[in-house]
Structures are given as structure tokens and as C-alpha cells.
Structure 1
Amino acid sequence: MTNIVIVVGTESGQSQMVADTLNDELLSQGHECELVEEADLDSFDIENREVILICTSTHGDGELPDNIIPFHDALKEQKPDLSHIKYGVIALGDQTYHQTFCQAGKDMDVLLASLGAVKVGERLEIDACTQPLPDEDALEWVNEWLKEL
């Protein structure tokens, strides 16, 4: 089975709930899975990762959650070659902020692609206003995503 690391960016706990649900699902399917809530690139062992799933909310004026900023900034500064990594993105946001809807997920998506990582499937964007059960949408998405890995 696949070794997947879920990197979660959360402020209010919504994306943490989604990531926890996905972690449980992936483990139940026999995948090796690790949930990372405080990603530090030095201890992340990026060279030995195969599949990364970003699960992040957006807060403020389209900002990344505080706990994922060090990971994002280290990737941006160090610019490691990620061509050996496949990735997917689940972005949570609120469409009432239409200019910055799911911006943190979009930013992580662009960053990983710019470093050579191979995107698998389409980014899932979950709207807090219209999707009251984001974990259910994420479960449906991740099962389709796994088929494409």
C-alpha cells in the first residue's frame, strides 16, 4: 500500500477534523499514513516522502493557518526538488470571502507544483457555507484520489 503523509493547516479545527477522518480512512484501507500538524521541513524528511496530502483551511484575508506557515516558508526558501512526490490538496474556505476563497490551499498547490511535485487529481475546495459536513465530502474525494495514485 501507499505511504501517505497528511499535512494539516488549521486555525479553528475544521481542517483538523477532516484530516483526522482521512487518516482513519486511509489506515483502515491498509495505507501507511502519518498526520503532521506542525510541519518543520528539517524533521519532515522530505527526500523520503512519496505522497503528500495537504488539508488546510484559509483564514483572515486569505492567509495560511499559523501551524503550516513554517512548512510553507521553508519550502519556499529552500526550494527542494519534489519531483519524486505526488500530492493532493483539500482546501477549506468560506465563499463569502470570494476573493480569497480557499487561498491557503491554492497557495500550497502552486508552491508544491513549482517545486516539481506531481499533482494527482483536482484540488478539492470545500465551502463552509454550503458544505456543513466537510469530512464526508473529503472522504468521497480521497477515495477517487487514491485510484489515481
Structure 2
Amino acid sequence: MSNILILVGTESGNAQMVGDTLMDEFTALGHAAEVSSDAQTAADLGLDGRDVVLIITSTHGLGELPDNIIPIHDDLDASRPDLSGLRYGVIALGDQTYSDTFCKAGKIMDGLFAACGAQRVGERLEIDACTQPLPDEEAVTWSKEWLAQLG
């Protein structure tokens, strides 16, 4: 079983809802799971006992990161820690009517974790608010395959 940190970037609460739902799903399956919406530094990832991070973030404004995930983004970007022992997944929430910036925050975090050496498991899930008003349902379906790929 995996020890999973669910790192949430949220403005309106949708990403938090998805994170809370997945934490319940993961723990029901016997995984250790914790949701964090206030990580500030790489140390907050808890890498000494954890090998999996699931990033769930919305995009707001003109393709910007939610305010609460900016500190960890900026710390990782500045320090570029070695995350080669970490596996991660990404669930990005966006609105396709903003085609140039659709799910951009998720893409930014995906690229940053990869640049630090972390290994992404599975494909990034991009959820469109226009077609999926209940993002937690699509995330639960996706997470089953993602968990299987974790092994």
C-alpha cells in the first residue's frame, strides 16, 4: 500500500472537494492518505516516509496557480530538490472556454515535479468545468487506474 500526499491548489473549493473525496477512497482501500492545502516548502511533502504525491489543482485568472499552492511551487522552483525517489500524479481542473490557459496550473505543477526528477505515473487528468460539473466523480474513476499503476 502507498503513502499518498494529496497536494491541493484551490480557489473556489472544487480541487479541495476532489482531494477530500480521493483521500476517503484511498484510505478505504488501505492506503495512507493525507490532504494538504498549505504546503510551503519541499519539506512539507514529507518525503522521509512518503513516495507518492497526487497534485490536484484548479487554474484561475489568466492561467494562474491558486494562491495557496504558490508557496510550494516557488520553493520547488527556486531550490530544485532531488525528487527522483518520488512518484506523482496530476489532476488539473480548468474551463475549456479559456482554451489558451485550460488546466495551465496543473501543467505548470506537472512540469515542475518532472524538472525536479519525480516520475509521473499515468496520464494527467484534465477536467473541464464546462462538461463535468462534478469533478470528483471523474477523478474517482481515473484514480482507480492510477492506483493500479502505482503497483
TM-score interval, normalised by the smaller of the two chains = over 0.9
The CA deviation at 1:46 is 4.5
User: Which residue number in structure 1 is paired with residue 131 of structure 2?
Assistant: 130
The number of residues matched between the two structures is: 149
TM-score when normalising by structure 1: 0.97
User: Which residue number in structure 2 is paired with residue 75 of structure 1?
Assistant: 76
5 Å-filtered alignment, 1:20-99, equals 20-41=20-41, 43-48=43-48, 49-99=50-100
Query: SS of the counterpart of 1:80?
Result: coil
Deviations 1:67-121 (A, max 9, x none): 0000000000011000000000000000000000000000000000011000000
CA distance in 2, matches of 1:72, 1:24: 26
Q: Return the letter of the residue paired with 1:14.
A: N
Query: SS of the counterpart of 2:101?
Result: coil
List structure 1 runs of 4+ shifted beyond 4 angstroms: none
CA distance in 2, matches of 1:40, 1:68: 8
CA distance in 2, matches of 1:110, 1:42: 16
CA distance in 2, matches of 1:133, 1:45: 28
The CA deviation at 1:47 is 3.5
CA distance in 2, matches of 1:42, 1:111: 12
Mark the runs of 5 or more structure 1 residues left unpaired by the alignment: none
Deviations 1:5-49 (A, max 9, x none): 000000000111111100110011110011101011164154423
CA distance in 1, matches of 2:128, 2:12: 15
Query: SS of the counterpart of 1:140?
Result: helix
The CA deviation at 1:56 is 0.3
CA distance in 1, matches of 2:91, 2:42: 24
Q: Return the letter of the residue paired with 1:29.
A: L
Q: Return the letter of the residue paired with 1:18.
A: V
Across the aligned residues of Structure 1 and Structure 2, the Cα RMSD in angstroms comes to 1.0
The CA deviation at 1:132 is 1.3
2:151 pairs with 1:116: no
Mark the runs of 5 or more structure 2 residues left unpaired by the alignment: none
